[in-house]
Structure 1
Amino acid sequence: MELSDESRVLIIYTGGTIGMLVGQQGYVPEPHFLTETLRSQTRFHDPLQDSLFSNSGSVQGFRDWSRGTSPSASPRRGGISTPAMPSLLPTLLVRSSHPIGQSSTLSLDQVQRKQPTCVQVSENIYEAHLPSLVTPRSAVPGSNARKSIRYAILEWTPLLDSSNMAIEDWIRIATEIELNYAFDAFVVLHGTDTMSYTSSALSFLLEDLGKTVILTGAQIPLSQLRNDAVDNLMGALSIAGHYIIPECCLYFNHTLYRGNRVSKMSSYDLSAFDSPNFPPLVKVGIDIVVNWNDVIRQTSVRKFRAHKEMNPNVATLRLFPGISGAMIRAFFTPPVRGVVLETFGAGNAPQRADVMEALKEACDGGVVVVAISQCTKGLVSDVYETGRTLTQAGVVPGIDMTPECALTKLGYLLSKPELTVKEVRDLMGVPLRGELTRARGTAPSQPTVEQNLDNIQQVLSQFVRLSRPPSLAPQITVTSDVIDPVAQNAAAPWTWTAAEAATTESVLFPFLVHLAAARDDLESLSFCLGAAPTVNNISNPTDEALKSGLIPGGIVNCLDCGSGRAPLHVAALSGHARSVNVLLRCGALVHQRDTLGHTALYYAARQAHEAAVDVLLQAGAALGGSDQRFAIIALEDAKFTNDRVSIRIWSKCGLDGTDIPNPEKGEVST
């Protein structure tokens, strides 16, 4: 079942407290308990949603259900009815690098009853159709639509305590996300002890990520009456199902953090994690508030891939008063290739000759040493002389990276054979996934009223220019003196505040960027997105423009109120490959769907705009939502009419176009 008002989420259940039961030895994992428990709770699984006539989640739906008049309800005595449980739950195809559903703790009969049929499709790739659960419909943020979340749970065998997590397990999670990238989003259930290590590692392993990945768990398991498991899982599932936040994140206690910015702060508080040097991405209360300005978006036209290697020869060394050079030399013995050095304060170290000589010998020998602070909050700098000597010895400042992030980033970079030691050292000080704060100069001053009014006039000038045919584009000056100056002074008006002017400007920008995308006007796109001052530069925005935050994340993905289409949809529908390329490089979400559940790729393919399709596919676009069944119909029509161009385009998009009927020979589509 593939409906436009559903999003598909894969839950990768690795283990952890969230699904444990109380045993004689304390909390112990129990296979299948989590899935069976979620299936029994209507907040996590509403069987009425599997009926095409379902109206659950509404007053009328409940009344129909309680009276037995719902097509999905079976009546009982006294007018009480219960949902008609389908004999076979809808399934979702799931792939894994390990066999799915095998468990040595269950009897053969239990395995046959509870486990799906697992098929090995190639070397180290297995697939199975897992029963899917579906949430009640809930309001989609920013629209009047309501959407349910259909999800499957890929449960590891055996379930792991997070303290047993290793590099190969990080790679396994990344691989399973890559194998199942057709899903809209991913939730990883994980133990809390090493969750911040895993979230940091995945942020680097998942290269050019375009979909939401959220790690979560619990301090108190779901099996207990009072727990935090329900809120954490429901919060992570809701965000994953309703938003495209293309990062590896960590959700805990009503807060979504960037995954490589968090550390575990408490073993007994429900607020177990914190991000001391970076604000949360999402705060969940009565409303879900997303800090879109800080959300990272892919700005390269490359497909997603999972990097499947990390160098294990990295370690962490915490400095302490009295540490000797001999201790440091013993720690740096082969095969160590990278070390995270936890220094005092703002990056200080003992200045004894033996200590500094040992560190310099290690750096000269090719070991990459990265300095971070032992303080929870703050960063490494060269304010003190004791910090400068580390830099002179070859130690790389890690700015404000967490210990977990610095360690996993080092292992990730050292696993790439194409990088030299110098390049690894340089990249350790550069934010690759938003893991550290870029050094900034003096903060820019707030715009004045006059500056904002000038900006509004520029926006209006772009509207006037775009409203004219290309052949009639005279230079038109837009003046703000609409009212006669004498009358205006007589009314003694209040002046605008900068906030009021900025609000007006923000209202105009979405209309302008949609119009520019529809007209393939790169100059106006450049003006809206701030990527470059000239048309010549906009097709390939400079790294400086991207890194400095000149490209606003919200404008490039702003939605039309009626259709729910983003500028990327508009450009793709019109076949403007240049605008598609610019929008993608400025952070457009390639997997964004409109109100009808369609992606930009579907619209470009449907209109046979092959150049736009090629650009979108290069960025990792795939048919999703309602695309598949409409695309199949379009492909059948193309086969029937022998439209070779459309057949080729749909084939590029992943549909089978090899069996092409030839009407001249009397062949027809089946």
Structure 2
Amino acid sequence: MEPSRTNDESRVLVIYTGGTIGMLVGQQGYVPEPYFLTQSLRSQNRFHDPHEDSLFSHAGSVQGYRDWSAGSGRSSPVGGAASLPLPEDPHSRTLLVRSSRPIGVTAALSPSPNHLLRSQPQCIRVSDNVYEANLPCLVTPRTKIPGKNISKAIRYAILEWNPLLDSSNMDIQDWVRIATEIELNYTFDAFVILHGTDTMAYSSSALSFLLEDLGKTVILTGAQIPLSQLRNDAVDNLMGALTIAGHYIIPECCLYFNHTLYRGNRVTKMSSYDLAAFDSPNFPALVNVGIDIVVNWNDVIRQTGLRRFKAHKEMSPHVATLRLFPGITGTTIRAFCMPPIRGVVLETFGAGNAPQRKDVVEALKEACDRGVVVVAITQCSKGSVSDAYETGRTLLQSGVIPGGDMTPECALTKLGYLLSKPEFSLQQVRELVGSPLRGELTRPSLLITQEQPTADKNLDNIQQLLTQFVRLSRIPSSKAIVPRIETPHDAAIHTTAPDAAAPWTWTTAEAATTEAVLFPFLVHLAAARDDLESLKYCLRPMDHDNPSDVLKFGMIPGGIVNCLEAGSGRSPLHVAAMNGNLKSAELLLRAGALVHLRDMLGHTALYLAARQGHEDIVDLLVQSGATLGVSDLHFVNSIIVDTLRMPNHDPLRIWIKAGWRPQNKPLNADAATQIKPFE
């Protein structure tokens, strides 16, 4: 049965496709072994705490070690392999997992009696191409969330592919399969994909496009040296990916390797023998893991469309990469661009240059005129294509589209994604391929003219900020549930100071820090009062030349739109949903509010809106991809019992809209008429 969910846990699905990370040494080198990875992780307390509800939940602590050394435990509480195997619990808790393929070992791979896994997962077919199985779950020791005063455990299950694939055998259908399995299991909080390193950059790029309107963290990782070896990078890579996935909502498809989290469509494999196998030449890392975990929130993408997540399940196979070389001929290009090719990634010299021979230029122009989408990128690891040189402008005049600073892996998969969309015309594909869809290329720089010195600008920002506070304080609160605001002592500003007093002097850093402290209070107050003017003021686009804006966005996980109140852990979206403020909720969602954030009690904004009976907010949040969390459902089930005793079934209809189902059975919004109240 599925374990009960508390607020100090997150659920992560690990999709194990294959790769070096889970291999063993065989006669022919490294070979995959079914279920070795799961059993190996189960034997290590850093990856699985068998007594996470008891003494062993303090693994790594002074008291945990003292209890263990006194004889209260049978395995080390500080990580590593257990000194003695723990008896297998026949009633071990499980997590329900879905897949587009049968889950378990086929007859061809039936384990021997001495196989590490004593019982194979049993799956049932629930519909066409959908299978379910209760997989044994593992749980990490509780660890402190960086920057917060609570500890959290990560409960995860490993969905292992059968057979396991070497990444060199990965193809388009495997990318679609991963995307489908994420969609089928979207009730999990986050996803980690274990993958071979050879084509990991292709897979992370492809998934960044296939996972449309993604609202949860997806991380690909693997290893250069398998977990089975004493000296390996598998432990750090898997633990780092699990930790980030379980503790942060970074709604992107990412790649984690060597203590660094990258945007998935910005990476390329740089080395076949270094532990730092990947790099992101044209875009900074999203997360750096050292003693502290440092998240570069300024660069994290936030979904601003009011759409639910879905997996796109097609990709055109008729795309290819052509690398220019000195002496290439028009004949070669014509042969390469023949049908059924529909898209070509042209790897050009330097900043987008190509040979200027007539046969080469004419061959490219013929392909473009015939409807082949040709996108130019640079062969260099760093840099972008441009029209700075005449040889580059000639390509553009032939119909070739500049691909900016996209990697070859990204450009190829993006072309395959766009050309698989029947709703896009050829002209639309040409326009979109050179535009950023998932942060895969850098926008052209915009010149920003500063009208006044930075110090004066920051002082004006503070004055505008205080003006918003004064205006909000004059608005009657009526029935609004206003967040509790405790202004820090060093941020207190006395606006009634005599004019004769000495003027308040500022450094840029002082002004920026004060703004960063005051903005969260203002955005919560504006959300509670449904004050759109103040919300728009808080959520205005960041000015990268203004240090206060950089601090305002960079100091808060997920940006100012997702700042959490200290006492309750509620975001501005929680506050707007609880108060039934539809316009504020929509504005926050369009500014990048995360619908899956949970407060200190484990509640989502969707739960709070349904609990208060705000049906219009429930409709908006569901449209935007919100779902009730597992911890929400424990509360909802008790609420429904009381609701069914009431003559008015409106609350039941709202809960059904929010996603509540009796015993997981399908139900429509009019189902209240089908259910009789309890006698």
TM-score by length of 2: 0.89
Is this contact kept in 1: 2:7–2:602, CA < 8 A? yes
Q: After superposition, where does 1:552-567 map in structure 2 within 5 Å?
A: 554-567=559-572
1:4 paired to 2:12? no
1:513 paired to 2:523? yes
Q: Distance in 2 between matches of 1:601 and 1:83?
A: 41
Query: CA 1:606–1:471 in structure 2 vs 1: closer, same or farther (change >3 Å)?
Result: closer
Which one of the candidate residues 203, 214, 230 is aligned to 1:225?
230
Which one of the candidate residues 490, 493, 502 is aligned to 1:488?
502
Which one of the candidate residues 322, 331, 338 is aligned to 2:327?
322
1:423 paired to 2:428? yes
Question: How much identity, in percent, do the aligned residues show?
Answer: 70
Q: CA deviation at 1:140?
A: 1.6
Letter in 1 for 2:331: A
Q: CA deviation at 1:450?
A: 1.3
Q: CA deviation at 1:471?
A: 10
Which one of the candidate residues 119, 128, 132 is aligned to 2:124?
119
Question: What residue number does 2:481 align with?
Answer: none
Q: CA deviation at 1:141?
A: 2.5
Determine helix, strand or coil for the equivalent of 1:203.
Answer: helix
Q: CA deviation at 1:112?
A: 8.9
Greater CA deviation, 644-653 or 127-136?
A: 644-653
Q: After superposition, where does 1:304-343 map in structure 2 within 5 Å?
A: 304-343=309-348
Q: After superposition, where does 1:113-262 map in structure 2 within 5 Å?
A: 113-262=118-267
Is this contact kept in 2: 1:65–1:81, CA < 8 A? no
Q: CA deviation at 1:654?
A: 1.9
Which one of the candidate residues 91, 94, 98 is aligned to 1:95?
98
Letter in 1 for 2:412: L
Q: Distance in 1 between matches of 2:401 and 2:165?
A: 35
Question: What residue number does 2:483 align with?
Answer: none
1:497 paired to 2:498? no
Q: CA deviation at 1:484?
A: 4.3
Q: CA deviation at 1:488?
A: 2.3
Q: Distance in 1 between matches of 2:276 and 2:605?
A: 39
Is this contact kept in 2: 1:53–1:71, CA < 8 A? no
1:460 paired to 2:466? yes
1:439 paired to 2:444? yes
Q: CA deviation at 1:480?
A: 7.9
Is this contact kept in 1: 2:75–2:84, CA < 8 A? no
Question: What residue number does 2:485 align with?
Answer: none
1:301 paired to 2:306? yes
Is this contact kept in 1: 2:57–2:141, CA < 8 A? no
Q: Distance in 1 between matches of 2:67 and 2:661?
A: 43
Q: CA deviation at 1:68?
A: 5.9
**Post-superposition CA distance 1:495-536 (Å, at most 9, x none):** 31112111111111000000000111111101110169xxxx
Query: CA 1:527–1:325 in structure 2 vs 1: closer, same or farther (change >3 Å)?
Result: same
**Post-superposition CA distance 1:8-37 (Å, at most 9, x none):** 000000000000111111111111110000
Is this contact kept in 2: 1:7–1:625, CA < 8 A? no
Q: Distance in 1 between matches of 2:364 and 2:560?
A: 48
Is this contact kept in 2: 1:597–1:626, CA < 8 A? yes
Q: After superposition, where does 1:655-666 map in structure 2 within 5 Å?
A: 655-656=660-661
Letter in 2 for 1:144: N
**Post-superposition CA distance 1:295-350 (Å, at most 9, x none):** 00100000000000000000000000000000100101110000000000000000
Query: CA 1:67–1:461 in structure 2 vs 1: closer, same or farther (change >3 Å)?
Result: same
Q: CA deviation at 1:642?
A: 3.5
1:106 paired to 2:116? no
Q: CA deviation at 1:594?
A: 1.1
**Post-superposition CA distance 1:177-209 (Å, at most 9, x none):** 000000000000000000000000000000000
Q: Distance in 2 between matches of 1:175 and 1:656?
A: 23
Aligned residues between the structures: 635
**Post-superposition CA distance 1:74-100 (Å, at most 9, x none):** xxxxxx999776332210000000000
Which one of the candidate residues 48, 59, 63 is aligned to 1:60?
63
Query: CA 1:97–1:487 in structure 2 vs 1: closer, same or farther (change >3 Å)?
Result: closer
Query: CA 1:53–1:518 in structure 2 vs 1: closer, same or farther (change >3 Å)?
Result: farther
Q: After superposition, where does 1:596-611 map in structure 2 within 5 Å?
A: 596-611=601-616
Is this contact kept in 2: 1:45–1:134, CA < 8 A? yes
Question: What residue number does 1:544 align with?
Answer: none
Question: What residue number does 1:35 align with?
Answer: 38
Question: What residue number does 2:592 align with?
Answer: 587
Determine helix, strand or coil for the equivalent of 1:113.
Answer: coil
Query: CA 1:15–1:329 in structure 2 vs 1: closer, same or farther (change >3 Å)?
Result: same
Q: Distance in 1 between matches of 2:330 and 2:628?
A: 58
Q: Distance in 2 between matches of 1:615 and 1:662?
A: 25
Question: What residue number does 1:542 align with?
Answer: none
Determine helix, strand or coil for the equivalent of 2:559.
Answer: helix
Question: What residue number does 2:293 align with?
Answer: 288
Q: Distance in 1 between matches of 2:605 and 2:418?
A: 34
Question: What residue number does 2:641 align with?
Answer: 636
Determine helix, strand or coil for the equivalent of 1:49.
Answer: coil
Q: After superposition, where does 1:566-581 map in structure 2 within 5 Å?
A: 566-581=571-586
**Post-superposition CA distance 1:467-495 (Å, at most 9, x none):** 113499xxxxxx98754465527xxx8x3
Q: Distance in 2 between matches of 1:207 and 1:34?
A: 30
TM-score by length of 1: 0.90
Is this contact kept in 1: 2:58–2:141, CA < 8 A? no
Letter in 1 for 2:229: Q
CA RMSD of aligned residues (A): 2.7
Is this contact kept in 2: 1:6–1:150, CA < 8 A? yes
Question: What residue number does 1:475 align with?
Answer: none
Letter in 2 for 1:106: S
Letter in 1 for 2:41: L
1:414 paired to 2:419? yes
Letter in 2 for 1:436: L
Letter in 1 for 2:220: L
